[in-house]
């Protein structure tokens, strides 16, 4: 088994305007490998980590230009034309890097059988079709999980604590006052 994250570092360090947007443009390697090996692709999605941090400066911010220049000088040709090696500046709880406590949601989708494309791993059109099927499935999983997250009244620790206190208070016996 092989686990692949087609978005790679770009999705792990996305800018604030790219929340939950799959960034698989031009990524065909995972689909090509699956077709060549004749193995299924099992789509997977997760939601919740993006709410743990707030992006303060996107990686393409002009204020981070000196850091990009330094990274390019250190990485040389490997950095040519790329901006995905620099993480955005983010904060968690208050101004710290401590992540906000958030509930995480995960789901696997139905496996995508790649055998109908067997022998076509060098055909970019066929491999693109496989990639797009996987992308569509992952996006549907993410959309479903985001709807589940939005409807979850116990999503944060504060909400869970509030609900627990309310439930506990409603089950306590009411005091009875005896006449003097």
Q: Which tokens hold the place of 44?
A: 């997977």
| CA 166 – CA 128 distance, rounded (Å) | 52
Cβ(144)–Cβ(160) below 8 Å:
no
Taking the domains of the chain in order of start, what are their residue ranges?
1-43+106-137
Q: What is the DSSP string of 38-78?
A: T--B--EEEESGGGS-EEEE-TT-GGGHHHHHHHHHHHGGG
- Least confident segment among 2-16, 86-100, 104-118: 2-16
Residue 109 is classified by DSSP as -
Exposure of 134 by Cβ count < 10 A (0-12 exposed, 13-18 middle, 19+ buried)? Answer: buried
**pLDDT tens digits, residue range 26-63?**
889 999 999 999 999 999 999 998 888 888 877 677 77
Structure-model confidence comparison of residues 157 and 115, the more confident one:
115
From the list 69, 41, 15, 51, the residue with the least C-alpha distance to 145 is 51
* Mean local confidence (pLDDT), 8-13: 64
Q: Is 93 helix (H, G, I), strand (E, B) or coil?
A: coil
Q: Give the model's confidence band at 17: pLDDT under 50 very low, under 70 low, under 90 confident, else very high.
A: confident
What pLDDT does residue 85 have? 58
């Amino acid at each position: 088994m092989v686990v692949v994250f087609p978005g790679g570092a770009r999705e792990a360090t996305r800018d604030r305007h790219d929340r939950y947007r799959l960034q698989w443009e031009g990524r065909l390697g995972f689909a090509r490998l699956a077709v060549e090996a004749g193995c299924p692709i099992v789509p997977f999605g997760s939601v919740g980590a993006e709410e743990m941090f707030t992006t303060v400066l996107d990686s393409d911010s002009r204020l981070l230009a000196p850091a990009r220049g330094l990274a390019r000088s250190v990485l040389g040709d490997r950095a040519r034309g790329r901006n995905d090696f620099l993480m955005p500046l983010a904060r968690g709880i208050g101004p710290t890097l401590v992540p906000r406590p958030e509930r995480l949601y995960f789901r696997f989708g139905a496996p995508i059988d790649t055998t109908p494309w067997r022998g076509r791993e060098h055909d970019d059109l066929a491999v693109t079709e496989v990639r797009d099927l996987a992308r569509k499935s992952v996006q549907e999983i993410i959309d479903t999980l985001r709807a589940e997250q939005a409807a979850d009244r116990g999503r944060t620790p504060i909400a869970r604590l509030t609900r627990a206190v309310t439930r506990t208070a409603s089950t306590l016996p009411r005091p009875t006052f005896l006449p003097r």
